[in-house]
Amino acid sequence: MDEHSAAFPSRPPAVEDEWSQTPLVPAETVAGRALAIVIAIMTFLAALTAGFAIVLADASRDWRGAVGVEMTIQVTPRAARDIDADSAKAASIAAAFPGVAEARAFTRQQSEELLAPWLGAGLDLSQLPTPRMIVVRRDPQKKLDEIGLRAALDAAVPNASLDDHGAWMQRLDTMAQVVVGAAVAIFVLVMIAMALAVGFATRGAMAGNREIIEALHFVGAADSFIARQFQFHFLRLGLRGGAAGGGAALLLFLLLGFLSRQWTTSAGGEQAEALFGSFSLGWSGIVAIAAISLTVALIAGLMSRIIVFRALGEFYDVKD
């Protein structure tokens, strides 16, 4: 019993037990159902953001793995040089270099096909100085000396340049960090909005039950008892809303995963799968959404308890 309630007569334990069996805040009210819906929507948004962040982070990791295992050699046309011979020589040098598993030179037709998305299909590129591309795959079991490979290419084929895709790797890292940072920021904003909603709902519930709270305090109820009643009420609402919002997010990702598998055969589906993967969350995503739902419920109960203690302190100050 706190200092404010010490001046009031204490209740017999039997009376306290009777009050503990009767909820101070009604379990089913219009305001409670509305708050549960708001919590469900906010949980859905937070889980959706976290899920997409996990999907994009996994896709980015796959991109970096695919980009990091390969390099390209570009052989540009030069006067008085045979570009096909230079391309074959550069490919043979790269294939024989320690740490390289494979070096595959593109033909002229394959190189022209690479330009089709930018120049359009059906163009006659025979008169254009089309460069040749060589795809070099690293050997995962051996370390590749990129500086030595560049030097060997420069000495034998001066019109060949090696690209290790380092710029693309850095951009993918930056993109993944931006996506994760944005997801964290959105999650924090959603949690702040949810806490404010619970705070206003708690004060409204206290205002609606002011006479009961005064009676409980008059007969000696401790602040912790009153706060616990509100905390359990809003914790239940948080669990209900969090489970609904998190479950809806999981169902959406399951639906997106099913649709992505159905669209894989189409060109758009292949591009979407290349960008975002198969929309499969995996166990890490499921655990993250479950943790978000539980965190939402715990924040709702904790916020309600804090608001009740603060409101009771203001109430006592006014009474004094």
**According to the model, what pLDDT value does residue 22 have?**
54
| Contacts of residue 263, Cβ cutoff 8 Å, sequence gap at least 6 | 269, 272
Residues 117-171: tens digit of each pLDDT: 666 666 666 666 778 888 888 887 888 888 888 888 888 888 888 887 767 777 7
The confidence band for 2, taking pLDDT boundaries of 50, 70 and 90, is: very low
Mean pLDDT of the chain: 76
- Give the chain's end-to-end CA distance (angstroms, integer): 17
In the chain, the amino acid numbered 124 is D
196 closest CA partner among 47, 33, 44, 306: 306
pLDDT tens by residue, 4-50: 444 334 444 444 444 445 566 666 677 778 888 989 999 999 888 88
Q: For a pLDDT cut of 90, what percent of the chain falls above it?
A: 6
- Measure the CA–CA gap between 105 and 84, rounded to whole angstroms: 10
pLDDT number for residue 68: 65
Helix (H) or strand (E) holding 136: strand 132-138
130 contacts 73 by C-beta, under 8 angstroms: no
Distance CA 214, CA 75 (A): 86
Distance CA 232, CA 51 (A): 29
CA gap 160, 43 in Å, rounded? 54
Of the candidates 208, 197, 177, the one whose C-alpha atom is nearest the C-alpha of residue 57 is 177
Q: How far is CA 193 from CA 42, 118, 184, 258, 297, in A?
A: 8, 46, 14, 33, 14
The arithmetic mean of pLDDT across residues 298-312, rounded, is: 84
Whole-prediction pTM: 0.65
What average pLDDT does this structure show over 174-196? 84
Burial class (CB in 10 A: 0-12, 13-18, 19+), 109: exposed
Q: Is 163 helix (H, G, I), strand (E, B) or coil?
A: strand
Spans of all domains in the chain: 5-65+169-319, 77-158
Residue 185 identity: A
285: its two tokens: 């995503």
Q: Which of the four pLDDT bands, split at 50, 70 and 90, describes residue 244?
A: very high
State the burial class of residue 307 (Cβ atoms within 10 Å of its Cβ: 0-12, 13-18, 19+).
buried
